[in-house]
Amino acid sequence: MAIFTSILNLLKKNPATDGADTFNIQTMLNDNWDKIDAAMALKGAIGSVRAATASNTTLSGLQTVDGVSLAAGDRVLVKNQTTGSQNGIYVAASGAWARAADADSSAKLAAGLWGYVREGTVNGGKSFVLSNAGAVTLGTTALTFAQMSGAGAADDTVIGSRTATDSVTPAMSGTLTGVLSSLFTLVKGITGKSSALTGPAITLEATKSHVDAGLAHGAVSAPTASTMMARDSAGRAQVAAPSAAADIARKDTVDAAIATAASDATTKANSAQAAAIAAAATDATTKANSAQSAAISAAATDATTKANAVQSNLTAHIGTGGAAHAAATSSVAGFMTAADKTKLDGMASGAGGAGTATDAVIGNRTISDATAPTGDTGSLTTLLGWLANMITAITGGANWRTAPVKSLAALNTEKASLASPTFTGTPAAPTATAGTNTTQIATTAFATAANNAHAANNSHIPFAVATGSANVYAVTISPAPAALTAGLALAVQMNVANTGATTINVNGLGAKDVLSSKGLALTSGKLVLNGVYTLRYNGTAFILQGEGGEYGTAAAAQVLLGYSVGTESGIVSGTMPNNGALSFTPSASSQTVPAGYTSGGSVAAVSVDASKVLAGTTIAGTTGTMPNRSGDTPMLSYSVSGQTLRLLPSLGYRNGTSDYVTITDSNFQAANIRKNVSIMGVAGTYVPTTANLGFDTPLWRVKRIEFGAEPSSIAIDNNGNTYMSKSGYTDFYKYDKTGNFVQTVSLSGGVSNLITYSNYLFLLSGSTIFRYDVNNIGGAPTSYNLGMSGKLIIRGGSIYVWQGYPLTVIRLNTNLQLLGTWTPLNGANVYTVLFDDNNIAYIGVNTGTYTNMWYKGSFGGAVSAIGSTEGSLSSPTIADINSDGTRLLYGRMCYNASGASLISVWNMAYNNSMLPDTSGIGLIKYVGNNVFVVNAQDGTGTMPPYPFQAPYGFAKFSASGSLPVYEYKAFPAATISKSIADYNPVIGMWAYTANEYALALGYEKF
């Protein structure tokens, strides 16, 4: 036994051990399915869907969802509706979508229900789970589907919080926490701060602007208070006039000191004695020189001291590792941009969540610093790789883990001023490749090479006016070529038209032929007065450029009249006639198209119906589809109009001589046509016997079959097959339409009440009703246990089984599904129950007297008495009713029972009718359109060869009027003593028994 059989508590029978058990197979199967269905519901799986929505979607039509073009029958997860109660699993269709069978009720939508999406741009490869908490009411509760797996499933909630550090050795791979710690450590090194979470004092962009600036910190060359000193374009810088001993000396201060010393020396020299003038002058000069040297030295020392102080302050600010401009390291703070800080802050806040995605769940990541950022959104590995790429770009190292060769602060100290640089000496630069067209500096070598190439380029076309006479021309161009070289071009304005072959002499370098583009000598008039022509030297002769290209080979007859064409021989005038627009109408004879030009026109269209053109034949481009019906072909259908048989042939071609349309019927033979009657040329040979003839009746054929017992029930299906049961037997028997035995079907109990309806045979066996398929009578039947025995009626598509005292009626549909149980009368002696086509019951109750009472009511409701009829009811009662209750036949009486009271229509005597009495001998059966059939003894007369007794037979009549109107009466036998019979209005056949226990089959209107 399978493991889930016991787990799910499924019912299972073992023939070896449970063979004697009695159980209902249908009930057991239904119980098992209920248990399996309940177990599957707990699994919470809805299987897969082809696509899932990504936005609010119209729930109809074969549309494209998430990049998937839907086909009819595709399952779709709808999860983004504006009205959340519309979410769920649907099946796509060309019209309105319907919810999938496994998700179309509240009971099938439990929390935790999940499914997999097979395709889609956004949702393909993902699975989603129904995340609603508590009970779900389909169509009311807003359904929420959360992503369970696939790309993006590990969101911040799933990943959870992480605690990173900024003091590890960076590595290219590792857990999420490890990689984040590596990044934090590198960020701290870049900013130079004590923590990766501390922002830098200045950003990298600001540092770059400072480093790139020509005049940093607002430095100026003029002596301005509280500003840094900068050199001007000549390399000089100015300071304010010194006032203290330690101030920087200016040139004007030094010059003044020198002037003062010189003046003092001059004064002292003048007061010296004349004798000492020379010595005094020498001494004064010496002292003046000494004073000048001392003043200059003092000024230089002072300037140097102050310049060193400025440099010291600038070094302290910029430094080679100081906090202001230094690149961040693992232990020293440095610059970091606001964007970098935001990213790090985002890592800290975005890593939080429920903590379900631990480092072990996320696993190690290997990041690459080779991919530049392309956006703001990506996977964890992508974002970490982008960050590593930016670090590599900032440091300029081989990879993101390599420390920079120099810090930003060090680079800042090495930068030279970029403002208006002045070159001295002989500056050199790389020589660009010939043809370079960029802002790169052009060297003298580049310029010289470009000029030489330009000068050597023959493509430059100089212009000159020709001199000389016709056909012998001369020109002088500038710059003058040293020699005629291939490719040399010139533009010449002709001073006179040519009259034949032409030469030209350029700058006295010798006369050269002027040829056409085909290399031919020029013809007269090729060069016109004042015409400007371009000539290019090919190394031998000058070739005329742009003269019109190739000529064709058209002759005058190929050129339209009134037009001309250029040829190698000159202009040719056309002679082709212009016929204008031409139109043609197809006809049986050929039509001539005139020679010459036509501007268009038309040929009238020929509309041909392909179905009217023989297959294999093409007319006006239409290939025929009409089949060739050669020989004999069967007709499609036929109809009879009066004495005319009309045959509908199949579509196609027939030759009218030997191709026939045929109809075949096995019954169309002489033996089936009365003698002396000819039908379609077939002369009849059939001669009926007197036993086959009734009076006032059509012709009949009768076949007798020995049955060997008294039937208890007979039924006929629409195929003409007959089913019979025997009293007290558990079998029933099938015969074909000609009375041949087919098969026996056995049941476990006695068989009764055989009735055919549509393509089914219904019968009662004990307290169970069975339904057989007449096309597979040996197959397993459908059954229903009524819990009681009774009598069977089928009317208006409903099955009624009733049992008297107290009266109980069970109603089922033709699939044997219970529609209701009814107990309208309690204690009444019910002898008959009839139903019309409207579910109205007519109940006959034996009152124990010569009269009886009839009741009427709808199934399931109350009944009321509608009147009494003459004669006590017998069992079984010979009665039936039409579709609407307007004709109720009971014995030889007819009533209108459609109202609240019975209204008598007729009450026939024995000697003027062929209706059964109430003794239970005979048959009354309603067959539609107010027509009834009866099986009874005829009281209106006798029939040969039975002149002394009224024969038993069959009659068919209309009950619409005040008296029965007989369609026919037939008397196949005169020995009937009991009538267990049936009639089929489709086949038109009787089946009945005689006292010889023989089955007789009578074919109506043969």
Q: State pLDDT tens for residues 883-940.
A: 999 999 988 889 999 999 999 999 888 777 888 876 656 788 999 999 998 888 777 7
Position 575: which residue type?
Answer: T
Other C-beta atoms lying within 10 Å of the C-beta of residue 636? 11
Backbone phi, then psi, for 25, in 5-degree steps? -60, -40
Q: How far apart are CA 25 and CA 36, in angstroms?
A: 17
Q: How far apart are CA 678 and CA 684, in angstroms?
A: 6
Backbone phi, then psi, for 690, in 5-degree steps? -65, -25
- Alpha carbon distance, N-terminus to C-terminus of the chain: 62
- Which residues is 521 bridged to in the sheet? 515
Q: How far apart are CA 988 and CA 568, in angstroms?
A: 101
Q: List the 782-785 sheet strands across, edge first.
A: 752-757, 760-765, 768-773, 782-785
Predicted local distance difference test score (pLDDT) of residue 807: 92
Q: How far apart are CA 266 and CA 288, in angstroms?
A: 10
Position 111: which residue type?
Answer: A
Predicted local distance difference test score (pLDDT) of residue 773: 96
Predicted local distance difference test score (pLDDT) of residue 786: 95
Residues in contact with 1005: Cβ distance below 8 Å, sequence separation at least 6, in sequence order: 698, 699, 968, 988
Other C-beta atoms lying within 10 Å of the C-beta of residue 639? 9
Q: How far apart are CA 361 and CA 380, in angstroms?
A: 14
Predicted local distance difference test score (pLDDT) of residue 484: 92
Element housing 864 (H / E): strand 864-870
Predicted local distance difference test score (pLDDT) of residue 2: 54
> Helix, strand or coil for residue 78?
strand
Length of the chain: 1006
Q: How far apart are CA 786 and CA 765, in angstroms?
A: 10
Residues in contact with 289: Cβ distance below 8 Å, sequence separation at least 6, in sequence order: none
b/e map 510-545, b = 16+ CB within 10 Å: eebebbeeeeeebbeebbeeeeebbbbbeeebbbbe
Nearest 10 degrees: Cα torsion 857, 888, 756, 665: -150
Q: Which residues of the chain, if any, have pLDDT below 50? A: 1, 3, 41-44, 269, 272, 276-277, 280-281, 284, 288, 299, 303, 307, 310, 314, 317-337, 339-353, 416, 688-701, 876, 945-947, 974-977, 995-996, 1005-1006
Predicted local distance difference test score (pLDDT) of residue 816: 96
Nearest to 894 by CA among 965, 968, 967, 959: 959
Matching residue, tokens 């003459």:
870
Predicted local distance difference test score (pLDDT) of residue 863: 96
Q: How far apart are CA 971 and CA 953, in angstroms?
A: 4
Residues in contact with 403: Cβ distance below 8 Å, sequence separation at least 6, in sequence order: 189, 329, 395, 397
Rounded to two decimals, the pTM is 0.37
b/e map 394-421, b = 16+ CB within 10 Å: bbeeeebbeebeebbbbbbeeeeeeeee
Nearest to 230 by CA among 246, 214, 254, 209: 214
Q: How far apart are CA 904 and CA 897, in angstroms?
A: 9
Q: Count of alpha carbons within 13 Å of 348, Cβ hemisphere only? A: 12
Are 230 and 214 contacting, i.e. CB atoms less than 8 angstroms apart?
Answer: no
> Would the CA dihedral through 478, 484, 489, 494 be positive or negative?
positive
State how far the alpha carbon of 104 is from the alpha carbons of 76, 143, 196, in Å: 13, 13, 55
Q: List the 965-970 sheet strands across, edge first.
A: 923-928, 931-937, 952-958, 965-970
Q: How far apart are CA 819 and CA 808, in angstroms?
A: 14
